[in-house]
Structure 1
Amino acid sequence: MTAPSTELFVHPALFYRGEEEYVDGTVPFIREGLAAGEPVAVAVPGPKLDILRSALGDAATDVRFIDMTQAGRNPGRIIPKVLRVFADAHPTSRVRIIGEPIWPDRSGVEYPACVQHEALINSAFEGRDATILCPYDEAGLSEQALTDAYATHPVVISEGRQRNSPSYAPERVVERYNEPLPIAEAAEGYAFGADELPAARYFVAERATRFGLSGVRLDDLALVVAELTTNSVVHGGGTGTVYVWAENGQVVCEVRDGGQLKDPLAGRRPSPPAQVGGRGLLLVNYLTDLVRVHTGPDGTVIRCYVDC
């Protein structure tokens, strides 16, 4: 249960062990929100949705439930497509959200993007009238994940007690997980400039088809490549190189160029309907199953994973 706060945005981590502690830490939070007239959303892995629906009984009908394993498959789309969509739909009310983006089955490849997401929630919701509670499976997650939770959340709840985190430093977390992404040994590359954009798209589509991608997913990847390569030409120094390979049942595509991303929230802000352009990275996050980014003075790598 979270204590009242004078802060507009409140972002606690909830450490739990087992189903009983999970229910004890989340259901009162939900009921408090409903009693206060706050819109409530719960975005957690599918099996946890069933647990909470059962524990809430009839009150479950007043809660928006979202399967995070699907909506949050790519951590880069959780802020714009899960959290902000719900908060923005209730502009005159304080909102209350449970978001569980990190669970034991997350892969090591996914984890850096997950923890960066948790860090970026703080700047994405700064000044917003909202509470986002993030459960952490203390028994199933690594010690590193729990340590990072202290760094990405200003408040931590453990064994029913709430305290300020002594190591809260979200900006440092974003930078720490801005990890170099070496070129994969299996990668095939194609260098492009403005005149080679169509050829770059064909290069990726042809190889992705060979790797087993087809239908809508192939169309999605083609659109992702078009956005990323165009961004390289317009914002990344005019040229770049696109790489593609197969890995663990996914097609992986990355674009490297000489530009640098200055905004950590690039691709994570919903775009206003009247906005012209500027949706490229947002679209990439929406269409892919994972996005990893490394950026710095020497250039930027945007690596995208698409399930076959």
Structure 2
Amino acid sequence: MTDTETTSPGHPFVHPALFYRTPDEYAAGVGGFVRDALDAGEPVLVAVPGGRSAVLREALGAGADGVEFADMTELGRNPGRILAALQGFADRYRGRPARIVGEPIWPGRSRSEVLEATRHEALINTAFAGRPATILCPYDVSGLPDAVVADARRTHPTLIENGRTDSSADYCDPAVVCADCDEPLPEPSNAPPLSYGAGQLGEVREHADAWARGTALSPGRRADLVLAVGEATANSLAHGGGRGTLRLWTTADGTVVAEVRDNGRLKNPLAGRRRPEITGTDGGRGLWIIHQLCDLVEVRAGATGLTLRLHFSG
């Protein structure tokens, strides 16, 4: 294929990666995608890092007024929050094709953030399967590590590069990519575990609150930490074998981390990444709340159980 068309009859959901190297390539590729949507009367969401929005606004001119913009550095600070926002936008226009630009990975993101953003990119293919939408994901190949670009080829069925649109020969099952994102978590130097079981959740919350008072977290963020820990440990009792362990520590850059481990399983990889139904019983409500509260959530679901690492900045 030599054109840049991103829709395909019989396949209502399309998920291309756009590889760009310069601001001009970005403006041409992403701007062209948005203009095509506007010309077709389709709703458009552009969720990109703040500086990229300025490039697009200039390229689109007056057309930018017809676009909904979001700063991905805020929306996607925790990659686990992105999917729900994209689905929420598409849900507002049910029955109509939606076009979305989502740039969840940019130069400077930490390895932990990149892994969770890559997991997000893989899960998009599961969450949007069969929906009439196109999600274009730009990648700055001049500034991102080769491994990140290689993963983009694995998470996107379609690639756009140098003005050409082709199928990705490296695309693979989302479950495979998610498994590869489960890199071993580094061990903290000093974080003794606190074991808990039935009837001890109040003590766990009190312990987390008392410990957090010795950190640089604001009172509001301390409250968020205690609430997230409460949701995670309650999940342990309900879904993780009835008991678990909590560890708390602070990293060298001042980030506060709470880790909850139990014997649970993550049956649905989308749990917590999609807004739960009010009457839902799929167990996703607690994980949803956790994702909304944290700056980063690292998930490791292995044969021995489930680990959640919850990150909080000041």
Report the TM-score when normalising by structure 1: 0.97
Conservation of the 8 A alpha-carbon contact between 2:44 and 2:98: yes
Conservation of the 8 A alpha-carbon contact between 1:190 and 1:203: no
Question: Which one of 83, 86, 103 corresponds to residue 86 of structure 2?
Answer: 83
Q: Does 1:115 align with 2:121?
A: no
Find the residue that maps to 1:127 and give its secondary structure: coil
Instruction: Note the aligned Cα RMSD (angstroms).
Output: 1.2
Conservation of the 8 A alpha-carbon contact between 1:27 and 1:55: yes
Residue in 2 that maps onto 1:179: 183
Question: Which one of 200, 203, 210 corresponds to residue 206 of structure 1?
Answer: 210
Question: Which one of 45, 58, 62 corresponds to residue 62 of structure 2?
Answer: 58
Q: Does 1:269 align with 2:274?
A: yes
Question: Which one of 254, 272, 290 corresponds to residue 249 of structure 1?
Answer: 254
Find the residue that maps to 2:278 and give its secondary structure: coil
Matches of 1:217 and 1:37, distance apart in 2: 42
Conservation of the 8 A alpha-carbon contact between 1:237 and 1:259: yes
Find the residue that maps to 1:264 and give its secondary structure: coil
Find the residue that maps to 1:244 and give its secondary structure: strand
Runs of at least 5 residues in structure 2 that lack an aligned partner in the other structure: none
Conservation of the 8 A alpha-carbon contact between 1:181 and 1:301: no
Q: Does 1:41 align with 2:45?
A: yes
Query: Deviations 1:254-299 (Å, cap 9, x if unpaired)?
Result: 1000111121111111122344674100111111000001112211
Conservation of the 8 A alpha-carbon contact between 1:96 and 1:132: yes
User: What is the Cα deviation at residue 182 of structure 1?
Assistant: 4.7
Q: Match for 1:284: what amino acid?
A: I
Residue in 2 that maps onto 1:306: 312
Query: Deviations 1:140-185 (Å, cap 9, x if unpaired)?
Result: 0000001000000000100010110001013211111122325422
Find the residue that maps to 2:111 and give its secondary structure: coil
Matches of 1:216 and 1:116, distance apart in 2: 29
Report the TM-score when normalising by structure 2: 0.95
Matches of 2:72 and 2:225, distance apart in 1: 22
Aligned pair count? 307
Matches of 1:283 and 1:2, distance apart in 2: 38
Q: Match for 2:267: what amino acid?
A: K
Residue in 1 that maps onto 2:151: 148
Residue in 2 that maps onto 1:26: 30
Percent of aligned positions that are identical: 48
Matches of 1:57 and 1:132, distance apart in 2: 22
Residue in 2 that maps onto 1:160: 163
Query: Deviations 1:48-75 (Å, cap 9, x if unpaired)?
Result: 0111111111111110000000010000
Residue in 1 that maps onto 2:289: 283
User: What is the Cα deviation at residue 215 of structure 1?
Assistant: 1.9
Find the residue that maps to 2:106 and give its secondary structure: coil
Residue in 1 that maps onto 2:17: 13
Runs of at least 5 residues in structure 1 that lack an aligned partner in the other structure: none
